[in-house]
Amino acid sequence: MIPSILPTYNRAPFSFVSGSGSWLTSDDGRRFLDLGAGIAVNSLGHAHPKLVAALTAQAGQLWHTSNLYHIPAQHKLADQLVDLTFADTVFFTNSGTESCELAVKMARKYFYDKGQPERVEIIAFEGAFHGRSSAGIAAAGAEKLTKGFGPLLPGFVQLPFADHDALHAAVNEKTAAILIEPIQGEGGIRPVPDHCLKGLRDFCDSHGILLIFDEVQCGVGRTGKLFAHEWAGIDPDIMMVAKGLGGGFPIGAVLANEEAASGMGAGTHGSTYGGNPLGCAVASAVLDEVAAPEFLAEVSRKAGALRQGLEGLVAQYPDVFEGVTGAGLMLGLKCKASNMDVVTAGYDCEVLTVPAAENVVRVLPALTISNAEIAQALERLETAAQTVQSAQ
Ligand SMILES: Cc1ncc(COP(=O)(O)O)c(C=O)c1O
């Protein structure tokens, strides 16, 4: 008999009843050190007092009015994002994949309005993940996402990761945009080198096409800059955001410069819940914390310590691990053993990590993880590695 929850997930055999900072308490009373942060969502950990205060204050005042009216919390959050980034304008969504939907629509509408309606094609990359909507799966293109869900939304091509010749060959008079994650998350924590991001910016400029960054997983402070592309010193035209922006409250956003957004007038897009007062109040509080230069500097410092510790584990357990990938607090342990075995062994010593493609274990802690918690994380991961090694 089908379960009451549509069985689209293989879930771990426990659930959590409460959380605080980097810790989660399970229904059987165990305390887990959370190095997954709800897949890069709980940017400030669990039950951060400032987020709880922002949510409860807004909850006692007003939950929802719809986008038929001005929403002060939405204006505040949009102004924050515009002040902090390349963007001139923002549309709020409820998730990463909804941000993908709008990013694609915006790029196509831009060229339609410029009298180039044939420019509809979006170039994306193998190993990418842009969510589970029809546009998201068509953009990523992998069979594991698309099989059985055809006909797929047309107008997407996928190129091998980091293949410059393929990129030159793929662009033509139908191309509208390049869509890329500065660091692939689900694809196995695969960073695009800064010089490649710069190269893509130049390439888009010289071909008159738009550059879309998907920072749903790598954005909002995770790499030690507010957005990962800032390390490369270039800007996209359109950027997808979600996950860490709400710190656990569902909210996403599409950020764009004025030119790229020029096709999106009244009636061209909408969302009942997008930019709802509750989500915006929480996201504003997240940005107040995360965008502070001293907070971002701490992320980089802690990331250095965590990475060094993980490199040590790789050296100590060469039969289990192969190397460390990623940037900032978006790290991946490339495994020789099965990554799922490492994740599962972690459950037994109360440490949570997240599997990804390419046999990688993702380490995506709350950005507020402390030095002591990093030390505990490394100890627990070592115990997990011992378990996996002795089972080999
Ligand atoms: C890079 C990237 N884009 C888009 C998405 C989709 O986000 P959501 O699950 O909120 O729809 C994800 C989710 O993992 C992601 O990692």
> For the residues 124-135, what does the mean pLDDT come to?
98
N- to C-terminal Cα separation, the chain: 37
Q: DSSP states of 304-361 as a string? A: HHHHHHHHHHHHH-TTTEEEEEEETTEEEEEESS-HHHHHHHHHHTTEE-EEETTTEE
Residue of the CA atom closest to atom 7 of ligand 1: 96
% of the chain beyond a pLDDT of 90: 99
Same fold, 16-34+294-390 and 50-290: no
Q: Whose CA is nearest to atom 4 of ligand 1?
A: 130
Summarised one tens digit per residue, pLDDT across range 208-222 is 999 999 999 999 999
Q: State the average pLDDT over residues 334-351.
A: 98
Closest-lying ligand 1 atom to the alpha carbon of residue 132: 11
Range 250-273 burial, b when 16+ CB lie within 10 A, else e? bbbbbbbbeebbebbeeeebebeb
Helix, strand, coil share of the chain (percent; to 5):
40, 20, 40
31 annotated ligand-binding residue:
no
Active site residue ranges: 129, 214, 243
Asked if pLDDT for residue 375 goes beyond 90, the answer is: yes
Per residue in 136-147, pLDDT (tens digit) is 999 999 999 999
Annotated domain spans of the chain: 16-34+294-390, 50-290
Arithmetic mean of pLDDT over the chain: 98
Using left for φ > 0, alpha for ψ between -120 and 50, and beta otherwise, residue 59 falls in alpha
**pLDDT exceeds cutoff 90 at 49:** yes
Architecture, CATH, for domain 50-290: 3-Layer(aba) Sandwich (3.40)
Query: Model pTM?
Result: 0.98
- 351-352 and 31-34 beta bridge pairing: parallel
Fold of 16-34+294-390: Aspartate Aminotransferase, domain 1 (3.90.1150)
pLDDT at 235: 98
Mean pLDDT of 247-273: 98
d(CA 128, CA 159): 10
194-248 pLDDT tens trace = 999 999 999 999 999 999 999 999 999 999 999 999 999 999 999 999 999 999 9
**CA of residue 288 to ligand 1 center, whole Å:** 23
Residues whose beta carbon lies within 6 Å of some atom of ligand 1: 39, 95-97, 100, 129-131, 181, 185-186, 214, 216-217, 242
**pLDDT band for position 165 (50/70/90)?**
very high
Neighbour count for residue 147 (Cβ, 10 Å): 9
Given ligand 1 and candidates 125, 129, 222, 227, which is best to mutate, with the most ligand atoms within 8 Å of its CB? Answer: 129
8 is in an annotated binding site: no
The model's confidence at residue 20, banded by pLDDT at 50, 70 and 90, is: very high
Q: Is the pLDDT of residue 292 over 90?
A: yes
Give the model confidence (pLDDT) of 312-339 as tens digits: 999 999 999 999 999 999 999 999 999 9
CA proximity to 240, closest of 105, 141, 337, 72: 105
**pLDDT tens readout for residues 69-86:** 999 999 999 999 999 999
Read off the pLDDT of each residue in 53-71 and give the average, rounded to a whole number: 98
Atom of ligand 1 lying closest to residue 217 CA: 16
Confidence of residue 164 (pLDDT cuts 50, 70, 90): confident
